[in-house]
Chains A and B, each alone.
Chain A
Amino acid sequence: MSISRRKFLGWLGAAGAGTTIGSKANAASNKVFKGYPDSMGVLHDATLCVGCRECEAACNKVNELSAPDKPFTDLTVLDVKRRTKNEAFTVVNRYDGIPESKGPVFRKTQCNHCLEPACASACFVRAFKKTESGAVVWDESVCVGCRYCMIACPFDIPTYEYDNPLTPKVLKCTMCAPRIEKGLLPGCVESCPKEALTYGKREDLIKIARDRISKYPDRYVDHIYGEHEMGGTSWLYLSSVPFEKIALREDLGITPAPSLTSGALGVVPMVVGLWPVLLTGVYAMSKRKEKIATEERETAVAEAIDKTTAEGEVKLSNAMAKAEKDKEKAIEKAVKTALEEAEKQAEEEAAAKTEAEAAKADQVEPDKSAGKDQAEKIDEAQTEEADEAPKTKDAKTNDEEES
């Protein structure tokens, strides 16, 4: 851990001091990554493999795996297709009935030690590491056991200790990294009696493979499997039959695994950077719309109130005017009636005067009562008008509530 963290900081330094390091920083931001120079690999020539299972036995021994049910000398196990298992980091399979070949073809399976390992790209704790030697190794101390590496590996290589409840491990070929460090050959390469396996610098292995193909064009398919597959692998294969026939998929393409997800990963910071901008904008807009709506509502209410108040005032003044007129009319009428009555009375009085001069005693009394009547009538008219005014006010308040 500490090493890789130091390395990480080192890179940060490199990024910061780009100009001083010049070409090195350039290399760090290169568009083409060719892998570690002088890294090692193994060339498996399937045309030389005889299916003796010596490599399986050696792998079992050097990795101290549990002994299988049937001994390695029992070749009947080749009758069924096998895959890598917890107890077998490498297996040899026999492929029969291939039209391009007279006899059966044997092919060894193990981790291909990809130049850009999918397992490493997928692991979220960086448990896998492509080392400078070429080996892809796994670190038990950090593995969480999510098994995403197994999903990712295009060759279905890693296996898992499903029956171990406490410390399940991801298992796969290590290219004998501990042995390589000691200067030894990988166990399988050392044990192969037919030299179907060649260990060496990957660049040299490719040259050797090319040589073989050009020397024996009838013997080999003109392709080195692993040179470009999935961005290239440290294990390379030569075959006399199409690689698909010996269970090496030809549809994997040459895209290195990290490129498969780098696009999606690249979108992540865009979302983080722009989503808040967009969402805050949407929020501000809906907030603003809401505010405008509230304001509009408020102005509408205010206007409505103004309008009703104005209307009310107009109504009121109309009513007042009307009431005034009515009042005047009523007064006029009352006065008129009063006058008429008074006239009548006066006439009557006059008549009475002329009729009976002798009865003068209560003359003043009827006069007074007539005046009183007139006054009462005027009062009544005024109260009616006053009643009308509050009614207009009520109407006004109703309008307000409605709006």
Chain B
Amino acid sequence: MNNIIYTLHDFLLHTESIVFIIMGISLLSMVGFWLFLTARDEDKNIQ
């Protein structure tokens, strides 16, 4: 029973909660990824 979502509201609550978590992770990992991407540039682009 618990696995069935009956209302659009509950569905959005479910998906948005996951989306918010992913957003947080992706925002933070962007910083790390940028550092990874530019680490071997002769002159470091990031301040």
Q: Touching in the complex, A and B, CB below 8 A?
A: yes
> Are A27 and B16 in contact, with the CB atoms below 8 A?
no
- A interface, by DSSP: helix, strand, loop or mixed? helix
Given the known interface contacts A11-B14, A269-B22, the answer about A33 and B5 at a Cβ–Cβ threshold of 8 Å is: yes
Contacts of A15 in B (CB 8 A): 18
Residues 229 to 273 of chain A near chain B (Cβ within 8 Å) = 231, 256-259, 262, 265, 268-269, 272-273
| Nearest-neighbor residue (CB-CB) of A8 within chain B | B17
Known: A10-B2, A256-B8, A265-B12. 20 other contacts (CB 8 A): A8-B14, A11-B3, A11-B5, A12-B18, A21-B3, A24-B3, A27-B3, A28-B3, A30-B11, A34-B6, A35-B7, A36-B7, A115-B7, A117-B9, A121-B9, A130-B10, A258-B8, A269-B23, A273-B26, A287-B45
Residues 6 to 38 of chain B near chain A (Cβ within 8 Å) = 6-14, 16-19, 22-23, 26-27, 30, 34
| Nearest-neighbor residue (CB-CB) of A6 within chain B | B2
Contacts of B27 in A (CB 8 A): 272, 276
> Are A116 and B9 in contact, with the CB atoms below 8 A?
yes
Chain A positions near chain B (C-beta within 8 angstroms) = 7-8, 10-15, 21, 24-25, 27-28, 30, 33-37, 115-117, 120-121, 126, 130, 231, 256-259, 262, 265, 268-269, 272-273, 276-277, 280, 284, 287, 291
> Are B4 and A24 in contact, with the CB atoms below 8 A?
yes
CB proximity of A191 to chain B, nearest CB, Å:
30
CA distance A34 to B17 in the complex (A): 22
Given the known interface contacts A27-B4, A37-B6, the answer about A284 and B45 at a Cβ–Cβ threshold of 8 Å is: yes
CA distance A37 to B4 in the complex (A): 11
Contacts of A116 in B (CB 8 A): 7-9
Contacts of B23 in A (CB 8 A): 268-269, 272-273
CA distance A120 to B2 in the complex (A): 19
Contacts of A126 in B (CB 8 A): 13
Sample 20 A-B pairs with CB under 8 A, ordered by A number.
A8-B14, A11-B2, A27-B3, A28-B5, A28-B14, A30-B11, A33-B6, A35-B6, A37-B6, A116-B7, A116-B8, A130-B10, A256-B8, A258-B12, A269-B19, A272-B27, A276-B30, A277-B30, A280-B30, A280-B34
CA distance A13 to B13 in the complex (A): 15
- B interface, by DSSP: helix, strand, loop or mixed? helix
CA distance A27 to B6 in the complex (A): 8
> Are B3 and A120 in contact, with the CB atoms below 8 A?
no
Contacts of A8 in B (CB 8 A): 14, 17
CA distance A258 to B10 in the complex (A): 10
Contacts of B12 in A (CB 8 A): 121, 258, 262, 265
Contacts of A231 in B (CB 8 A): 8
CB proximity of A197 to chain B, nearest CB, Å:
25
Contacts of A257 in B (CB 8 A): 9
